């Protein structure tokens, strides 16, 4: 596996630290009062609308598929731990690949 950091890629943690640093500098330079922003009724209402929309999106579209894959992952990890064949081994034995000779 190649090491991406030798090529100059920025890690996620580094990007987060850089973003926080830039945010603090801009906040101090522009003299922004964050408390005044977050106690504003319009900001609070917008936050609650976004929160409600995200919760509804999770419940309607993402929860079932994510739980399915998570439970399948946990089941396969337990099978690996117990030394049993995983679902991939079991299904793979029944697969046939047709050979195409040109």
75-101: pLDDT as tens digits: 999 999 999 988 878 777 777 777 777
In a domain, 15, yes or no: yes
**80, 86 Cβ separation under 8 angstroms:** yes
In a domain, 93, yes or no: no
- Which pLDDT band holds residue 5 (cuts at 50, 70, 90)? low
33-44: pLDDT as tens digits: 877 877 889 989
- CA–CA dist 22, 24 (Å, integer): 6
Q: How many domains does the chain have?
A: 1
In a domain, 17, yes or no: yes
In a domain, 56, yes or no: yes
pLDDT exceeds cutoff 60 at 3: no
In a domain, 58, yes or no: yes
Domain housing 55 = 8-85
- CA–CA dist 98, 78 (Å, integer): 33
């Amino acid at each position: 596996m190649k090491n991406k950091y030798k090529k100059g890629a920025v890690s996620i943690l580094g990007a987060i630290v850089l973003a926080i640093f830039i945010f603090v500098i801009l906040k101090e330079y522009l003299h922004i009062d964050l408390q005044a922003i977050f106690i504003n009724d319009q900001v609070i209402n917008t936050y609650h609308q976004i929160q409600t929309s995200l919760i509804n999106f999770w419940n309607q579209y993402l929860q079932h598929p994510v739980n399915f894959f998570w439970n399948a992952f946990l089941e396969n990890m337990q099978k690996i731990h117990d030394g049993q064949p995983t679902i991939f081994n079991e299904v793979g034995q029944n697969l046939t690949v047709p050979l195409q000779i040109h």
